[in-house]
Homo-oligomer: A and B are copies of this chain.
Amino acid sequence: MKGEDRKEEIFETAAQLFGERGYNAVSMRDLAEALGIKAASLYNHISSKQELLSTIIISVAETFTEGMNKIISSRKSVVEKLDDVIELHVRITIESSSALASLNNDWRHLKEPDLSYFLDMRESYEENFRKILKAGVKKKEVKKLNIEVMLFTILTSLRTLNQWYSKKQGVDQAELSAQMKQLLLHGIILD
């Protein structure tokens, strides 16, 4: 199946370029050149530029959705669930850094019906996260702060981990997870 290999290669290179420069700043000529072929040849493997973006973004988004669903349905404590969410993000950041960058920067350029599908997943993910935090407050495992501020702050740090991780070296996955847990859950100030 050489054809499938080529297709895979196209998606990977597209994810990398979209992640670096943004969807609109990467032309089909740019992508083709990076692959060593002409732009017209791309259309023998894919049907449109939009298909590239949708496939890249939806794939990562589904991985997040599956991960969160597992966490939600487990019987762990709230703090353990929060640990697991952080680990999920760190894992995906390291495994799918480019696709994650595309998702973060270019989800706005999805077209319907993919846009709605993506937004539904995103909303559902956030709602599940919110539920974990609310349960934590109720069980007195989590401080009684504004739920939306907590949700946003933790989530945005986790979502943009890739921006930072791709630049720095010398921090491995386990170490990064541990540091993020300390920081986001326990803060940085010594009392």
Contact assessment for B189 and A171 in the assembled complex, using a CB-CB cutoff below 8 Å: no
Nearest B residue to A105, CB-CB = B105
Flag whether A180 is at the interface (Cβ < 8 A): yes
- For A133-168 the 0/1 string (1 means CB < 8 A from B) is 100100011110110111011101100110110001
Flag whether A179 is at the interface (Cβ < 8 A): yes
Interface of A is mostly: helix
A166: min CB distance to chain B, Å = 12
Interface bracket on A: 35 or more
Interface stretch, picked from A18-26, A31-39, A64-72, A110-118, is A18-26
Contact assessment for B188 and A185 in the assembled complex, using a CB-CB cutoff below 8 Å: yes
Given contacts A160-B160, A187-B187, A188-B150, contact A182 B145 (CB under 8 A): yes
B contact residues around A108 at 8 Å (CB): 21-22, 25
> Which residue of B182, B184, B185 is within 8 Å of A143 (Cβ)?
B182
Flag whether A75 is at the interface (Cβ < 8 A): no
B contact residues around A2 at 8 Å (CB): none
Flag whether A109 is at the interface (Cβ < 8 A): yes
B contact residues around A186 at 8 Å (CB): 187, 189, 191
Q: In the bound complex, what is the Cα–Cα distance between A163 and B189 (angstroms)? A: 26
B contact residues around A140 at 8 Å (CB): 190
Flag whether A52 is at the interface (Cβ < 8 A): no
Task: Identify the interface centre among A25, A148, A164, A187: most chain B CB within 10 Å of its CB.
Answer: A187
